[in-house]
A = this chain, B = another copy of it.
Amino acid sequence: MKRAVEAGRGRRLQPLLEPESVTIIGASTDAQKISGRPLRYLLRHGYKGRIYPVNAGAGEVLGLAAYPEVRALPEVPDLAVICVPAARVPAALEACGEHGIPAAVVLSAGFAETGEEGARLQAQAASIAARSGMFLCGPNSVGVINVWRRLTASFSAHLEEGLLAGPIAFVSQSGAMGTTTFNRMQDEGLGFSYFVSSGNQALLEAVDFIEAFLHDDHTEVVAAYIEGVRDGSKVLRVGRLARELGKPIVVLKAGRTDSGRRAALSHTAAVTGSHAVYRTAFRQAGIVMVEDIEELVDACRLLSQHRSLPGARMAVISGSGGVSVLAADHFAKAGLEIPLLSPDTVTTLQQILPPFAACQNPVDVTGQLFASPRLLQAALATAAQDPSVDGIALVLSMAPPDAARRMAEDIVLFAPQSPKPLAVGWLGGSMVEEGRAIIRKAGIPLYTTLPALAAGLRILVEAGRRTQFVEAAHSVGVLPAPRREALERGGILPYLEARALLDHIGIEGPREAIVRDADEAVENAAQLGFPVAVKLLAPALSHKSEAGAVRVNLTTAHAVREAVGDLLEVARTRLAGEPGEGLLVQQMITGGSEFLLGLVRDAQFGNVLTLGAGGILVEVLRDVVHGLPPLSRGEAERMIGELAAARILDGVRGQPRRDREALIDALLRLSTLAETAGDAIEEMDINPLIVREEGRGAFAVDVRVVGRRGL
């Protein structure tokens, strides 16, 4: 029982986030200094626990009794706030650990962000904290704030102002981004439960705080600014927890571009990794991603109002054709759809609206909007009934102030009875400000530019997305011992071992045979049926085409003989006496489209599935998508949907449609292998997987597997 309580207390990081008592180590008597501010702020904001300043030279700090060292404290406090210079931090942590203090936040800078010497100091601090089982936030943290408890263990100047308690918990890997965003949110009247600056993340990283926040009763929305995640598996775990608890997570992920990643590497020791993989992971985890502070503020507002959209199909209602066109542009760019309305809806709109109105989506009510008070409500109500839309976007522009006020009042009357979520974009300047204020006051999402409206709607769609957390779609059981042993020897697997892995998970290949010489090759080719391919097998030539180790489209015995001759010559020159695995005679799979399926090891997320199309251009065009195991069927479909080259499956240039189901199946089977063999696979490529006509399956024509040495 005790253990469970302790575990719960652990996941919630209670001593760090909800301390009953705090000691400030290095508390300065100068209330303006960074080391003087935490105590001043704790007193100013009325922290509800007990406070013990530690200062070797002063008997009193800001009116509180000060202690010369941790050992002299009258009790073991929950949290140590450490403000001493970097060089003295390890000793301070050591003393805290010995005294049994369970949590510390290190506000001092001068660690990994400053170079090698700082990194060593940070590693030392981390190992001391880890050894004593301490929760460590930082170093180089701006602090930890629990607004409901009035805990302000921070030196941030934003604490000079008041704090607004509310449902948003926010962790930021950057102090400046964190306090800047905090300030913007409070300006907008958004209140917080927690604010944590996770700093250099020597032990605890942002995802750990996200997990703790989710367990907190005051918290309804969790927000984060993240540059990188050390342990990617936590991302899917907190996503699942958030879904279970019905609490959305929104993340501003920096380092999306090469420039951004370079900047991140230079400013802290932040691990950034591939943005494509992060995007995949966050989406699979059901996390809402935003790209800017303003979007983060907007997402927190929308999500704390429990808003979402069940899908991306929007009815767009406006009073102007031009506004419709520009709105359609911005919506398309944000991934929103503007579907055709049903014939019934169009007919009804034609009856309601003036003769010159556009009654198909986007609907243009025309300037009559201003003149006829009930027109707008009628149009909104009609469009909202349509089963082909998930939400309503009303886009207004310049209007005389009195007309704007009347329209706003109509919208406020309509909104509560709307069967679909409504958002308003109201462009223009001061003339419509009074109208906007009425909408805003009624709590209807309101935007003053089209990019912001489109971004807001996209956030609502992401928040409403039904993430599937699945168990493996195919059961492949435990990996047979010989398969695992082959992987664990490390390095490139012999071809037959790699093929056996595919057989185990049920991905088919062409019929084939291993031969030693031309006679055997011809005999087997005849049995397999022409045309055939002949390949030279050897781990050293695992990229067979580039190594000149493949001859394809051999239609006669003579051609096979010639090919074998060539390849044996290649073996003599390229392998230089190294043992090969023989020659492979393989039935040609014709009439399909080539894809590349693979597993790559990501430093943060482990085995990541990749899907691309075959051929040299795809390498040039970098058209590749990712997925994290375990893959749901929906995620496999999403991967294919996002691959530009996958349109080839629909049949282009008069070619027949391809077997999409077989490609989905292959992805799901590879996902189960990643789950089962997991860490033992360093790298795996099925290249090409030939996807044939509908109903005719997919065949792995070549496969290359690298085992992970030294597990």
Contacts and interface: CB of A to CB of B under 8 A. Distances in A.
Contact of A183 (B177, B320, B367, B431): B431
Contacts of A158: 398, 431
A399 interface: yes
B326 A177 contact: yes
Nearest to A455: B451
Most chain B beta carbons < 10 A, residue from A256, A259, A319 = A259
A329 B617 contact: no
Given A157-B431, A227-B322, 20 more contacts: A109-B356, A161-B431, A177-B397, A183-B429, A184-B427, A184-B429, A185-B429, A186-B429, A252-B326, A259-B331, A260-B325, A260-B328, A260-B329, A260-B332, A263-B324, A264-B321, A266-B358, A266-B362, A267-B358, A292-B450
Interface string A177-217: 11110111111100000000000000000000000000000
A619 interface: yes
Contact of A621 (B114, B327, B623): B623
A590 interface: no
A290 to B, nearest CB: 11
Interface stretch (A38-46, A381-389, A579-587, A648-656): A648-656
Contacts of A620: 644-645, 647-648, 652
Contacts of A177: 320, 322-323, 326, 397
Most chain B beta carbons < 10 A, residue from A118, A256, A327, A617 = A617
A652 B175 contact: no
A325 B429 contact: no
Nearest to A227: B325
Given A324-B263, A617-B648, A293 B398 contact: no
Contact of A355 (B114, B267, B450, B546): B114
A237 B323 CA distance: 28
A618 interface: yes
B176 A397 contact: yes
A442 to B, nearest CB: 22
Given A398-B157, A428-B183, A429-B183, A328 B653 contact: no
20 contacts: A110-B356, A160-B400, A176-B319, A177-B323, A178-B322, A183-B428, A183-B431, A254-B329, A256-B329, A260-B326, A263-B338, A266-B362, A267-B321, A268-B321, A292-B451, A293-B326, A615-B617, A616-B653, A617-B621, A620-B645
B183 A430 contact: yes
Given A294-B449, A322-B227, A187 B429 contact: yes
Interface size range of chain A in the complex: 35 or more
Given A293-B427, A652-B620, A356 B113 contact: yes
Stoichiometry, as copies per complex, reads: 2
Contacts of A260: 325-326, 328-329, 332
Interface in A424-454: 427-431, 449-451
A188 B292 CA distance: 24
Nearest to A255: B325
Interface in A147-176: 157-158, 160-161, 172-176
A681 interface: no
A298 B299 CA distance: 26
Given A329-B259, A620-B645, A322 B431 contact: no
A255 B255 CA distance: 31
10 A-B pairs closest in CB distance = A174-B322, A267-B321, A176-B320, A257-B332, A260-B329, A187-B429, A177-B322, A259-B328, A180-B398, A157-B400
A224 interface: no
Contacts of A328: 257, 259-260, 262-263
Interface string A224-258: 01010000000000000000000000001011111
A397 B654 CA distance: 56
A340 to B, nearest CB: 10
B619 A645 contact: no
A255 B449 CA distance: 17
Contacts of A542: none
Nearest to A332: B257
A399 B254 contact: no
Contacts of A648: 616-617, 620
Nearest to A186: B429
B176 A114 contact: no
Contacts of A358: 266-267
A667 interface: no
A708 interface: no
Nearest to A293: B427
A628 to B, nearest CB: 23
A321 to B, nearest CB: 3
Contacts of A333: 256-257
